[in-house]
Amino acid sequence: MRKYYLLVLSLCLAGNVYAEQYLCIVNKSTGFLYSESAKSWKSTNFKPGRKYTLSNSTGSFKLNSFGVEAPVASCGKGFIEAGVIFCDGWALFSFYKKSGRFTILQEGSYHLVSSETFKEDSSNIPTPSVGIGECSTIR
């Protein structure tokens, strides 16, 4: 009977570890946007408010755009001892638990797309950007 209680207790504790989740909202974002009229890249500021979720529901942290199932980045083994997590994939993301602040770099496809592609259609090309914001715990 004692083994049963220990098993139930360990499963409960493990469930709490995997349930760690954060909602991260971009406060400021800047980057580059392709100008059709100038046929060149221009620096710009993007509208704040883009949302991400950082979660550990499956045993490893992943960063997702809010409401999107496919992850934007994977976060390796999670938080390092200092309370910081680093994620990479389609974006580079770092978050510090103590301050609640994060940075995100999205390279877009600037380096992957040739000049010829822009001449055909530049409307669907993701743009490079850097954002800063804050994360809060999802309960």
- Read off the pLDDT of residues 50-96 as tens digits, 9 standing for 90 and up: 999 999 977 899 999 999 989 999 998 899 999 999 999 989 999 99
User: Residues 3-42: pLDDT tens digits?
Assistant: 434 333 343 444 444 569 999 999 999 999 878 788 788 8
Q: Which H or E run includes 117?
A: helix 115-120
Neighbours of 133 (CB within 10 A): 21
Rounded CA gap, 105 and 99, in Å? 19
User: Residues 107-121: pLDDT tens digits?
Assistant: 877 776 665 655 555
Indicate the burial class of 14 (C-beta count within 10 angstroms; 0-12, 13-18, 19 or more).
Answer: exposed
Rounded CA gap, 100 and 137, in Å? 9
This prediction has a pTM of 0.77
Rounded CA gap, 52 and 3, in Å? 40
